[in-house]
Each structure stands twice: as C-alpha cells, then as structure tokens.
Amino acid sequence: MEIDVKFFASLRERMGRTSDKVTLDGDVATVSDVWNQLSSEPIPNNILVAVNKEYTDLSQELKSGDEVAFFPPVTGG
C-alpha cells in the first residue's frame, strides 16, 4: 500500500524533508511500520502522530492512500 507522509517543525528539519511517500508490502500495516521504513532510528519519545489529520498512535492500522503525519508537541496560540 501507498502512504503519504508529512513532517512538521523540528522533525521536518531533522528528517530533511517536508513530505515523503512510502510503499509497504502486504495487506496490513501500522504507523510503526511507516516510521521503520523512513528511519533506522526508533521514533523519538515525544513525537505525535496523526492519520488523516486526526491524532492517533503508532499502533493504528492503515489503508492505502492514508496521510500519516509525524510532529513534535504543539506549541501554538
């Protein structure tokens, strides 16, 4: 399946890109699988995850075409 990936703020700088596309084999994949495809390092502790613009966690299962975002804690307003 194909997943659109987005990075924001300090994580975007650390990853060196604002977005990416990953292709995962098989029918079942989670957000964790996406991260592992992107980086050989474990995901930093404080990183938040959204799928299709809703907060979720690493265990969420994905379907092809989902948009997965990784970003640090929000500091707005």
Contact residues for another protein, defined by CB under 8 A: 6, 8-10, 12, 50, 53-55, 69, 71-77
Distance of closest approach, residue 2 Cβ to another protein, in angstroms: 19
Distance of closest approach, residue 62 Cβ to another protein, in angstroms: 17
Q: Convert 23-50 into a string of H (helix), E (strand) and C (coil).
A: ECCCCCCEHHHHHHHHCCCCCCCCCEEE
Kindly tell me which of 9 and 28 has the beta carbon lying closer to another protein.
9
- What is the b/e burial string over 21-34, where b = at least 16 CB atoms within 10 angstroms of the residue's CB? ebebeeeebbbebb
Helix (H) or strand (E) run with residue 69 in it: strand 67-71
Distance of closest approach, residue 26 Cβ to another protein, in angstroms: 27
Kindly tell me which of 13 and 61 has the beta carbon lying closer to another protein.
13
